[in-house]
Amino acid sequence: MSLTPDADNTATPDEGLSWELIYPKTTTAIFSLAVSNVILSSMGCAGNIFIMVIISKWSNISSGAAFMFSLALADFLSGFYDGFVDELLPLLGLSLDLVNSSLCAICTFMNRLTTIASFWITALFSVDKCFAVIFPYRYRVWGKPKVCVVATLTVYILNAALTVPDLFVLGVDNEYSGMCHAVKFDILSRYLYFELRTPIIILFGAGLPTATVVICALVTLIKIRLDQRKRSDQSGTSKQRNSPRARLDAEITRQMIVVCFLFGVIMVTSSAIIRVNHGSEPKTAGDEAKYTLLDRINSVLTSMINAANFYLYLIFGKKFRNDFKRLFQKQNGE
């Protein structure tokens, strides 16, 4: 992406002006993206709260339903930070990550931790339902909520280890831009942070969960198609397949497939942005404008991932939709 100062602005990046003054149209675009992100995040936070409330009322749930709850919590945390801490507060004139270098490092660490955790829990959700479809009898034994609890805790611990370098490298760049960037290299060198860590973040934080989600969704879809053909000539296990638990698992599987394919499409785009944006240091006003614009685009994409699940569940889940309606029917009845 190439940015040039607006024609009606005679200032150049060398005159010491901030990039907001040099690129006013880019600043306007970034503002619009920030407002969109706040709206998406608000919708996502509300939707994820509804998901957790609805699933908490289910009885005899499988690990798949538990992963839906865990994913809703991760999406809520990620959406809350991206939409309110990272976008709304700056729109109101307060940027926590620019208060000092410590908050810069902590805020960025929490942002990446919650975002990557959301990606990996989506991947685990897809693995869970893939296992359920391929090994249905074993899944009835092993598909328990405690599996989700252990897997979720493991995800957060590993992701914390992956993102902990941010705590030692990031700070407010007081010499040039005043922005939150990698500025301290006394513990971790520039080469290790930019040349080695960036590919690792892309691979483990985006590439692997995306590949896992897409592969599991495809395998699950193919297995479902094959099973449907076999069932057309068999009816011996119809009673078992028509049990409430079996119907709920089948509904969750459909929801997972839709969620995973949307996740895959968005993540391919997001990964490309991450590769461009975090592979080098912003050194000029144009670099800073480009970095901020791409970062806001990526935030909107992440917010779409965090916000979409609730609405997909409503569209593709009959039980979920009915349970959502009952929430308001009970309130009206009271």
pTM of this prediction? 0.79
- pLDDT at position 19: 65
DSSP state of 173: -
Task: Please check whether residue 125 is in contact with residue 67, taking contact to mean a CB–CB distance below 8 angstroms.
Answer: yes
Spell out the domains of the chain, with CATH numbers in brackets.
19-229+240-323 (1.20.1070.10)
Question: What does the pLDDT profile of the chain (334 residues) look like in tens digits?
Answer: 434 444 444 444 444 566 667 777 888 888 888 899 999 999 999 999 999 999 999 888 889 899 999 999 999 998 898 888 888 888 888 888 888 888 888 888 888 888 889 999 999 999 998 998 899 888 888 889 999 999 999 999 999 988 888 888 888 877 766 778 788 888 888 878 877 887 888 788 888 998 998 898 889 888 888 877 776 655 544 444 556 656 666 777 778 888 888 888 888 888 778 777 666 666 677 777 788 888 888 888 888 988 989 998 888 888 888 999 998 875 554 4
140: exposed, middle or buried (C-beta count within 10 Å: 0-12, 13-18, 19+)? middle
Q: Which residue has the tokens 């009835």?
A: 140
- pLDDT at position 14: 45
Distances, alpha carbon 239 to alpha carbons 141, 235, 243, 245, in Å: 18, 9, 6, 12
